[in-house]
């Protein structure tokens, strides 16, 4: 039974890593109607110039989205483990520990993102002010 849980969790994680790749792989010929929607909404075509900061921002956004989904799956798995523990203290303690560890991981990741975003924003402001 433990082996099947590992296989299912592995398939879920692989799926969570592959789906964003397909979402980013859309090219101009197959944009899923996004350009038409942008034109109808804003009246112009979106900016097609891809810069390094915009690409990095998209990659970070995808990574954070995947981490958010992984956190959600971890919370659900820990909740199910807690609910099905049947009063066994060892299983309840393990479920609580998994929940706490996944929450700490999410806080660390979000904290790191906030710090990096703050530093890079201020660094870019300094560079732009010196260039002007």
126 Ramachandran zone, left/alpha/beta (phi>0; psi -120 to 50): alpha
The pLDDT score that the predictor gives to residue 45 is 60
The pLDDT score that the predictor gives to residue 53 is 66
pLDDT tens per residue across span 69-123:
888 888 899 999 999 998 899 999 999 999 999 999 888 888 888 887 787 777 7
What whole-number distance in Å separates Cα of residue 82 and Cα of residue 124? Answer: 47
DSSP-assigned letters across all residues of 4-21: HHHHHHHHHHHHHHHHHH
DSSP-assigned letters across all residues of 90-127: HHHHHHHHHHHHHHHHHHHHHHHHHHHHHHHHHHHHHH
Write down the pTM of the prediction.
0.55
- Average pLDDT of the residues in 27-50: 63
Report whether 101 contacts 122 (CB < 8 A): no
């Amino acid at each position: 039974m433990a082996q099947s849980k590992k296989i299912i969790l592995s398939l879920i994680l692989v799926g969570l890593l592959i789906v964003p790749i397909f979402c980013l792989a859309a090219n101009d010929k197959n944009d899923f109607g996004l350009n038409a929607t942008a034109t109808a909404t804003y009246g112009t075509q979106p900016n097609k110039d891809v810069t390094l900061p915009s690409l990095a921002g998209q990659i970070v956004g995808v990574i954070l989205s995947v981490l958010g989904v992984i956190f959600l799956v971890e919370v659900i798995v820990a909740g199910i483990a807690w609910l099905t523990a049947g009063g066994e203290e060892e299983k309840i303690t393990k479920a609580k520990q998994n929940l706490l560890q996944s929450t700490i991981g999410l806080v660390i990741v979000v904290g790191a993102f906030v710090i990096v975003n703050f530093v890079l924003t201020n660094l870019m402001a300094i560079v732009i002010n010196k260039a002007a």
